[in-house]
């Protein structure tokens, strides 16, 4: 773990950047508008490389690549003429009460969006449309809304508005604000809004579930049905 303050800039790296409670406390206690989260940075050399770009500000873009890795199972082809077809199909499944594994892109290290399961409920972690976060969380720290929560989930105090809209009644909720800093997330959220009418979707760690039936898994150009045995082997190997 590394932390570094540069003038009014606070940079949080590695495991602490992945902890919504830590990030929530930091944003609440920090007067800085620029709290940057770089969860993939683990060494001083990587930190230096990520703070040299854009006039000394850290590079918050996730290094994402289209995931064309094939599976042995039968697959459904995505429509190459429809940008974001995999996102749209995932949104449709989840809007109708299902869950879907999001492997549309590969990322360097941990990601709060790719490699996750998307669902409708039962989670304290949500991706929220960027243009609605002020409505649901008017008192949330500016530092969280501006930068930190655009790349990692940040713990917010729940509000009555958000609890009613999401169904999550917990006192606190981990929020990731949809923005261009997480490539592909705004595309999914547009499909999600159209199909479900909602502004938030659950982000679920696959290892937290033990399904009894097949689960849909999406990559960039193909969709698969992963049976329960393969799911357990992939996500519960340890």
| pLDDT given at position 43 | 73
Give the confidence band of 2 by pLDDT, cuts at 50, 70, 90: very low
Domain boundaries, the chain: 61-129+178-235
pLDDT of the residue at 146 = 78
Q: Got the DSSP string for 158-223? A: --HHHHHHH----SEEEEEE--TTSTTHHHHHHHHHHHH--SEEEEE-GGG---SS-EEEE-SSEE
Apex 133 CA angle, 130 and 134, nearest 5: 120
Residues in the chain: 238
- The residues, any chain, with a CB within 8 Å of residue 238's CB and separated by 6 or more, are none
* pTM of the complete model: 0.88
Mean pLDDT, the chain, whole residue set = 87
Among 30, 27, 26, CA closest to 8: 30
Query: pLDDT digit string (tens) for 20-51?
Result: 999 999 888 886 667 888 887 777 677 777 66
Number of helices followed by number of strands (H, E) in the chain: 9, 14
User: What pLDDT sits at residue 238?
Assistant: 64
Q: Is the pLDDT of residue 132 over 70?
A: yes
- Do residues 145 and 133 make contact, with C-beta atoms less than 8 angstroms apart? yes
Tell me which residue of 127, 202, 132, 150 sits closest to 36, measured CA to CA: 150
Higher-pLDDT residue of 49, 151: 151
Q: What is the pLDDT of residue 38?
A: 82
Looking at per-residue confidence, does 210 or 14 come out higher?
Answer: 210
In the prediction, which pLDDT does 60 show?
Answer: 65
Q: Render pLDDT for 117-127 as a digit per residue (tens, 0 to 9).
A: 999 776 789 99
83 class by beta-carbon count within 10 Å (0-12 exposed, 13-18 middle, 19+ buried): exposed
As given in the structure block, the two tokens for residue 161 are: 């508005």
Q: Work out the percent of the chain whose per-residue pLDDT is above 70.
A: 89
């Amino acid at each position: 773990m590394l932390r570094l303050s540069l003038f009014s800039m606070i940079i949080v790296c590695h495991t602490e950047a992945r902890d919504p409670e830590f990030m929530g406390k930091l944003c609440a206690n920090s007067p800085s508008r620029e709290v940057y989260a770089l969860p993939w940075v683990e060494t001083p050399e990587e930190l230096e490389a990520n703070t040299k770009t854009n006039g000394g500000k850290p590079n918050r873009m996730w290094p994402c690549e289209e995931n064309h890795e094939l599976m042995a199972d039968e697959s459904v082809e995505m429509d190459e003429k429809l940008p974001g077809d995999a996102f749209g199909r995932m949104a449709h499944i989840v809007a109708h009460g299902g869950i879907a594994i999001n492997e549309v892109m590969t990322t360097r290290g941990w990601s709060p969006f790719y490699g996750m399961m998307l669902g409708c409920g039962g989670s304290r972690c949500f991706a929220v449309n960027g243009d609605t976060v002020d409505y649901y969380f008017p008192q949330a720290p500016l530092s969280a809304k501006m930068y930190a929560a655009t790349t990692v989930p940040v713990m917010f105090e729940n509000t009555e508005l958000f609890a009613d809209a999401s169904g999550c009644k917990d006192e606190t909720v981990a929020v990731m604000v949809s923005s261009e800093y997480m490539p592909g997330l705004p595309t999914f959220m547009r499909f999600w809004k159209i199909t479900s009418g909602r502004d938030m979707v659950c982000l679920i760690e696959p290892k937290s579930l033990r399904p009894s039936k097949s689960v849909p898994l999406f990559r960039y150009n193909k969709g698969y049905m992963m049976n329960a045995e393969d799911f357990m082997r992939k996500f519960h190997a340890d």
